[in-house]
Amino acid sequence: MSNILVVAEHLEGKLRKATLPTIGFAKKAQALTGGKIIGLVLGHNAASVAAELATAGVDHVIHVDSPIYANYLAEAYAPAVAEIAKVKGASIVAAPASTTGKDFLPRAAARMDAGMISDAIEVFSHNGAVGYKRPVWAGNLIARETSTSAITAVTVRMTNFDAPAAGAAAPIETIELGFAAPEHTQFLSFDQVKSSRPELTDAAAIVAGGRGLKSAEAFKMLEELADLIGGAVGASRAAVDSGYAPNDWQIGQTGKIVAPNLYFAVAISGAIQHLAGMKGSKVIVTINKDGEAPIYQISDYGLVADAFKAVPELTAALK
Amino acid sequence: MKILATVKRVFDTDGKPKLTADAKLDVSSIDCKLNPFDEYGVEEAVRLQEKGIATEVVICCVGPEEAQKEMRTALAMGGDRGLLVKVDNTESLDTLSIAKILAAVVKKEKPDLVILGKLSTDSENNQVGQMLAELTGYPQATFAFKLTPDAAGGWAIVGREVDGGTSDVKVKLPAVITADLRLNEPRYASLPGIMKAKKKPLEITTPEALGVSVKPAIVGIGYELPPARKAGIKVASVAELVDKLKNEAKVIS
Ligand SMILES: Cc1cc2nc3c(=O)[nH]c(=O)nc-3n(C[C@H](O)[C@H](O)[C@H](O)COP(=O)(O)OP(=O)(O)OC[C@H]3O[C@@H](n4cnc5c(N)ncnc54)[C@H](O)[C@@H]3O)c2cc1C
Ligand SMILES: Nc1ncnc2c1ncn2[C@@H]1O[C@H](COP(=O)(O)O)[C@@H](O)[C@H]1O
């Protein structure tokens, strides 16, 4: 058997959108391997998630309900994922390349003695096996790799696969695994950054600011512009480290990977680690007072100007 | 408390990658350096030692003979000794193989805390720490930006950077931690530090001597360069920018 197991990500009874491109990836892989796409929900009182997943393009849903999955822990997820993969004959186990997927899947891979591919952006046929493409070197190089283990673990980059069209509801199977709660790890808290704006990873427009803004106060003008165009606000690492923006806003190699239709880079110089997170954007607009900043080399439209003057002017013009 | 901090010799990705005719990476003109994320791990270990919480800090690398250079760079920041597991062609190893070798090191050294970086900046896997945690049966706290160990109590509380915010977990020691960039600010090695590092013991061993034989599951086929993005145009004013966004790019209505 060569089924594809997709581990769903969810929060507060809702499927997280990051799961959908992962199913999109599974569809492409399925075209090469055959087999079924099995969605897995590990949760507690998460029947709503299983129901949502059932219409998201999978062939089958497995729902494991236990209090030990009430708060996410890699030590609880890894054994469950490995067990289901074995019982259901999976040859590929996929999860979103989110901080959750990146946390539990390598642990599960080690348990399954499986090779692992991080941040897959494409699948292709390679000598009868599945080949994977993934960005390395801060996005300046694409590696092509294949796997020889019976099971391969894959995290999927959200920006590179489409969500499959919603289909008829797949059957939901409820399974009990009987694992005990991890003894050595205890979940203490999740401090969520609440925002009324769209999530960075699925915003159609992003207004991002850099160190050149010099204060948290100055980010307010980016927020105003973002709200006007229904976008999200992002930041460079230097802006986050300087305390101008929360760490959840960071875009780049160490932060979020985004690909909106429209990306404003305001007072950001364009270090490769920043570009790694945003150069997949459709239209890039740069506002920087230094006309030689490297970010102009990848920008569609550049305005050489002082952000403190240009951004309010832009907001006013769009009102 | 004994700490094992891992370091990887990585390609300096600030240099532009070049490909050979058979789609391999042309490494002839690329410099190597200590993986930036490992500097944060080593710094954290060294600070815990300076605070008297850590009694011994061992720096460990799986790499070629040349990686002694990066290990000395780490030892110049602090720490007591180095352990190099010599593998000539490290790039041919996959993450699970590295994790298996490190697991054998952990078995031998029995540290209370293993600190890795969260990511190799060249191969960008973000896997080895999590795999090592599973292979050793240790708990894991990845993407750490705050580490508060209670050595006497046998626990550590770790603040983690996660999508949507931050999360705190409590792990029982021994545990595996992977360092994110906001964990601390790594020091520059001082001249006395560099002099001292030259005299610190650096043991060289091999996977065989540790009793591990590995066969990588992930095999590289080759590389390609990503599609280049072309530089666009410069606009003269906000009015022109708005016009272009509305009427040319059609991304704003
Ligand atoms: C391992 C590693 C990982 C990293 N990961 C990331 C990552 O994920 N994301 C990330 O962003 N960085 C990352 N970095 C950091 C990266 O290398 C750069 O340091 C960072 O992106 C710089 O941020 P910046 O462009 O805001 O600041 P700077 O480089 O300082 O640029 C500020 C810019 O603002 C402009 N400016 C100043 N004042 C004004 C004004 N009034 N109006 C208009 N423009 C103005 C300046 O001309 C300049 O171009 C990483 C680094 C390392 C080593
Ligand atoms: N060859 C190696 N030797 C020692 N440590 C390594 C090696 N490869 C990876 N690591 C550690 O594992 C971390 C994560 O690496 P990776 O999973 O390759 O992104 C790195 O920051 C290192 O601390």
Q: Is the pLDDT of residue A29 over 70?
A: yes
Domains of chain B, residue spans: 2-247
Report d(CA B35, CA B120) in Å as an integer: 6
Helices (H), chain B: 36-50, 68-77, 95-109, 128-136, 191-199, 238-243
Cβ of A286 below 6 Å from ligand 1? no
Q: Which of A305, A243, A177, A81 is nearest to B235 (CA)?
A: A305
- According to DSSP, the β-strands at B81-86 and B202-205 are parallel
Q: Are B19 and B35 in contact (CB under 8 A)?
A: no
* Residues of chain B contacting residue A317, judged by C-beta atoms under 8 Å apart: 238-239, 242
pLDDT tens-place string over residues A131-183: 999 999 999 999 999 999 999 999 999 999 999 998 899 999 999 999 999 99
pLDDT at A1: 62
Residues 204-243 of B with CB under 8 A from A: 216-226, 229, 231-235, 237-239, 241-242
SS3 B194: helix
Tell me the best of A136, A201, A256, A274 to mutate to test the pocket of ligand 1, counting ligand atoms within 8 Å of each CB and taking the most.
A274
pLDDT tens-place string over residues B26-69: 988 899 999 999 999 999 999 999 999 999 999 999 999 999 99
Q: Are B245 and A222 in contact (CB under 8 A)?
A: no
What sign for the dihedral angle of Cα B115, B119, B121, B122? positive
Percent of chain A having pLDDT more than 90?
96
pLDDT tens-place string over residues A194-243: 888 999 988 999 999 999 999 999 999 999 999 999 999 999 999 999 99
pLDDT-flagged residues of chain B (< 70): none
pLDDT at A202: 85
Report d(CA B205, CA B216) in Å as an integer: 20
Instruction: Catalogue all structural domains in chain A, each as residue range(s) with its CATH number.
Output: 3-174 (3.40.50.620), 200-318 (3.40.50.1220)
CA atoms within 13 A on the CB side of A88: 25
The chain-wide mean pLDDT, for chain A, equals: 96
Cβ of B36 below 6 Å from ligand 1? yes
| ipTM field | 0.97
Percent of chain A having pLDDT more than 70?
100
* pTM reported for the whole predicted model: 0.97
User: How many residues comprise chain A?
Assistant: 319
Range list of β-strands (E), A148-281: 152-156, 172-175, 185-192, 205-209, 232-235, 262-266
Q: How far does the CA of residue A315 sit from the closest CA of chain B (Å)?
A: 10
Query: Is the CATH number 3.40.50.620 carried by domain B2-247?
Result: yes
Determine the distance separating the centroid of ligand 1 and the alpha carbon of A287, expressed in angstroms: 13
